[in-house]
Every structure is written in C-alpha cells, then in structure tokens.
Amino acid sequence: PSIVKTRVKANNYKQTTVTWTKSINATNYLVYYRSADTTKWTRIANVSSKTLKYVHKSSRKYPVEAGRTYYYMVRGYNKTFKTYGGYNKAGMRVAIPKKPAATPTATPTATPHPTQKPRPTATPKPTATPKPTATPKPTQKPKPTATPTPDPDSPSEVRKQIQEVIKYTNQVRIKHGSAPVVENEALDRGAAVRAKEIYTKFSHERP
C-alpha cells in the first residue's frame, strides 16, 4: 500500500479526530498514536479501506490528557498479502487544550422578610408584698457512724488477702507468658501458720 497523508485536530480536552487520504492497494488502515515524551507508537484502531476518518476518545487503555501533546500516524495494510504501507515516522502533532476551569455557581440571595411591628407591652401589675417567712430551726447533723475496722486475722479477711496476692501474681505471670497459679487450700493454711510464725520471730528457724 502507498503512503497516506494524515491530518489530526483536537475536538476538546479529551478527544481528537484523525483523517487521511486513500492508499492504493490498502484493505485496511491502522491508526497509531504516541505522547510527546515517548517514541513508541501504540495502535489504537484497525478500520476498513472504506473509512478515512477516526475519532479518538480518551479511555483508560488509550488516554488523551488535557494540556499534553500527542502525535498520530496512519498506514495502509493489505490483509491478502499481509503487507504494510509506508508512513510518516515523525507523525502529525496535535496539542490537547487544557481543561476549562469550572465556573462557580452564584449563591442566590435570600429575599428579606418584612419586619414585624412590635406589639404593645402589657403594663405589669403591682407585685404583692410577700409575708415574712418564719426562720426554720437548724437541723442537727447526724453523727457519722464509725466504720468497723476489719480483723486481719479473721478467716474471711485472710481469704481475701490470699485471693488478692494470687490475682496480682497471675497478672505478672501472664504478662511474661507463664501459666497462672491455681489456689490450693492446704497451701493456704500452711502459709497462714508460717506467716504468724514469721510475725512472731523473723527467722528461718521456727519459734
């Protein structure tokens, strides 16, 4: 196929139109494009020989970006003999216009409501003089009830202290990846006896 003459124009910031002259012995036309920052041609269309125009709409696969420069090229192709025609290696240059700035929509001004006339103020009636209130006698404050001090040696208090020690011990053991301690009543009783002995005589020898 013979070389075709190509023309291209930008329709808007995301679309172009490519036109070309007829090529002898061409059964199809192959349309290519590339951006100004690369030399690699990308084929974007394969149309029949009856078509001499192609509209390139921007897409994710073949984008047309506002404000950039592109080059287009068309070459003939004969599918019977599987031969390609010559082409303009430089391509036809087209500058895509920038996207127009959005025009801000004016906010409608609210229509002012008519000012209401003030209503006449009613004349207040004279306030009756209040009668003197009898002064109440001061109420005696209740005396605070003394809080009983728990017996540290009582079984319930000892049991409570043991549970607190086990609780905080297990918190530390779990934090360091150790298994929790399980309470043993026999050990509790033995520990209570030993605690009283140490209180009486702080020594490794039992009193």
Q: What percent of the chain has pLDDT over 70?
A: 77
> Is 148's pLDDT higher than 70?
no
The amino acid present at 140, given as its one-letter code, is Q
Which tens digit of pLDDT belongs to each residue from 88-101?
Answer: 999 999 999 999 88
- DSSP letters, 14-52, are TEEEEEE---TT-SEEEEEEEETT----EEEEEEETT--
Q: Is 183 helix (H, G, I), strand (E, B) or coil?
A: coil
Phi-psi region of 67 (alpha: psi -120 to 50; beta: other; left: phi over 0): left
The highest-confidence range among 106-115, 150-159, 175-184, by mean pLDDT, is 175-184
**Structure tokens belonging to residue 11:** 């329709």
Domains and CATH numbers, the chain: 6-95 (2.60.40.10), 155-200 (no CATH)
In this predicted structure, what is the pLDDT of residue 204? 65
Q: Which helix (H) or strand (E) holds 191?
A: helix 185-200
Average pLDDT over residues 156-161: 76
Band (pLDDT 50/70/90 cuts) for residue 194 is low
Band (pLDDT 50/70/90 cuts) for residue 201 is low
List all residues 6 or more positions away from 174 whose beta carbon is below 8 Å from its beta carbon.
180
Check residues 34 and 140 and name the one with the higher pLDDT: 34
In this predicted structure, what is the pLDDT of residue 57? 98
How many helices (H) and strands (E) the chain has is answered by 2, 8
- Residue 54's nearest CA partner among 76, 31, 33 is 31
> Is 207's pLDDT higher than 70?
no
Average pLDDT over residues 165-169: 82
In this predicted structure, what is the pLDDT of residue 116? 73
Check residues 161 and 15 and name the one with the higher pLDDT: 15
How much is the mean pLDDT over the chain?
Answer: 84
Tell me the pTM.
0.50
State the CB neighbour count (10 A cutoff) for residue 70. 21
